[in-house]
Structure 1
């Protein structure tokens, strides 16, 4: 490797480390809030390095695998062997029949009004009804049981006088279930990061991953922007939801292998603009 190539590589590595430092700050805040010591994070980083190196070496001579991983990661062969004996931590489950029903309710045209907001629906009867919605999501859980669970989660209210069901929350945030909430963080942020990393290592067109930044806003304008973003999300859900379902139905009808998944997200973050002094660092 000549000096020019070495300098270019070092520049790329420094830029990468700066980006990783920015990514790690929120995770450090989260870990400190829950009393997770740095040693536990270091162990996870070692595990991730070994898994990534193992994937990169797929197809190589198995007898040389430990040595290859050791060379790539900087870990000793003994450490690589130890880490490979440790099971990979599993994310808590996030998907449930209740969350699937919530997604259908907020994304199907028959269940939202012209403003894309979820309608109140009869408990029984043909579409649109809670009974029909539940049947479209699952055949294993009775609509009555599913309604009781969603009432328990404070997602819906059942008006018994009119036998109508109203959605209270069109976004599921499991505040009383820490493992499930952190599971959502892991899957949503993890998939977003994986898409970005794949694009950076490829030609930038493997996955859709874009962001829009607006600054020099007042607090009042930020509040208005949040309402606009929520409206955009409702529109996205009700537009893409039926189209994605149509694609799944077409795959099933054509008997194509249905072994792929896609996650689509939208996020926003508002915070004070960095000072001139901070942005110059």
Structure 2
């Protein structure tokens, strides 16, 4: 960029003077952005991505080609991929390219749509609420037959409980919500992510606590069962977001409309895929 470090420092100082708060703080091994700077970065990055995408659309004037969709790998595996055959039935000529990552990762610049988890706001992106985030216990039917019955929520404390490392409070919240008090969880197995916890439950390692919205295919197929229907709604939700534009490509509109319909139609109430052609 042909800009010296000193010039960059002066530009940062001028921006801090204009904004009225510091953007960086010094630490023992360098500098770190302040919380205000991180929030400002996300907003500015979204704006620059919108400019970049709009420029690409203007230059190419192409409204066809692959549809690039981004979401977390768990959402992709547990929710989107099991339903994607329905979209292919409706739009067989449309190529869909899925990219996945962590929920807190910056979005790639070439995406058409993304599914984000959080509370928003998602400005300057267009956003649509997809579904909430609730937890429910699950285990394999073979485990329940061999180690059951599990008749009350307190009975769960006699079983190995599977935890997800990033959400260690889920079991405590569910048990208290189900009326269990003054308990100690003595049989605990912690796994790195939700996907591993679900797989461990399928393999009969114990009882997992999982997101109801992601467990529909496994419950419907009989790989998992829910000892109790009681669920607990957690903070945050899943949103469909995409860059704001004056006109949207047909592929974006078709996928958006299909996805919103899928999110509002419970898996167990879905008609068979073959009926969608009629």
Larger RCO (CA within 8 A; separation ≥ 6): 2
TM-score per shorter chain, which class?
under 0.3
Report the TM-score, using the length of structure 2 for normalisation. Answer: 0.25
